[in-house]
Amino acid sequence: MAAPAQEWKLSMTPYFWAAGLSGKLSGARSPVIDIHADFGKLFDDLDFGAMLIGDARKGRYSIFGDLIYTKIGSQGDTPHGVLATSADVKTSTFAGLLGMGYSVLEDSPHQLDVVAGLRVWSVDMDVTLKGSLLDGRKRSDGATWVDALVGVRGNYILSQKLYLTGWGLIGAGGAEADWDVGLGLGYNLTKTVSAAIGYRAVGVDYSKGDFKFDAVLQGPMAGITIRF
């Protein structure tokens, strides 16, 4: 007798990520700005955030996507202070990841996938310079690029209700480096709905011409997963 055909299992996870921004940023006709995330002001600096993860799984194969959009306002210093001494920086960041995975575990309650995918970045930056020769000057710049990523992601069942979830990705392409790590603790509210809290850090090092976005976005996150 032929084995019954496996059906697609779908899930959607809207989540909130209180991402703080730190790193080195620059744009057209502006000096390099050092940004340092203040974890006491994460919710003050995050002007807007929208995030969604989608997953489709059939047997040992999966397709997944992760959409991130943030608007973050922050302050930074210039390294030399000649043209300006500090700056107010507003960044709008979109990152969209589409990937495929293959489970290395068979007939196991746990899940461990080897994954590969592409992430599209689009960053817009508005800078208001302060102090010295360029005091009050405004600069705007932006860039869009694509990176290829590989890594692992999975779940580890702790009990009927509790589970750990995590991932680690690394790659490059338009950027010199692109990485993404996260770890969370989940709780099954029902058979089809679960909630999770955790911590995520995403880093990217991109530069072209005068534009530089060598940054890490990191902070706590919380989400609800709905399975179909």
**What is the residue range of 33's domain?**
9-227
Determine the Cα–Cα distance for residues 70 and 218; give it in Å rounded to an integer: 12
Band (2; pLDDT cuts 50, 70, 90): very low
Mark residue 209 as left, alpha or beta (left: phi above 0; alpha: psi -120 to 50; beta: remaining): left
Is 215 a member of any domain? Answer: yes
Band (1; pLDDT cuts 50, 70, 90): very low
Is 3 a member of any domain? Answer: no
| Arithmetic mean of pLDDT, 71-83 | 77
CATH code for position 154: 2.40.128.90
Token pair for residue 158? 């702790």
Per-residue confidence (pLDDT) for residue 38, from 0 to 100: 65
Band (47; pLDDT cuts 50, 70, 90): confident
Residues shown for the chain: 228
2 or 47: which leads in pLDDT:
47
* CA 201 to centroid of chain Cα atoms: 7
Is this structure's pTM higher than 0.75? yes
Beta partners for 208? Answer: 211
Per-residue confidence (pLDDT) for residue 78, from 0 to 100: 81
Is 13 a member of any domain? Answer: yes
Token pair for residue 77? 């210093």
Q: Provide the domain count of the chain.
A: 1
The answer to whether the beta carbons of residues 221 and 199 sit under 8 Å apart is yes
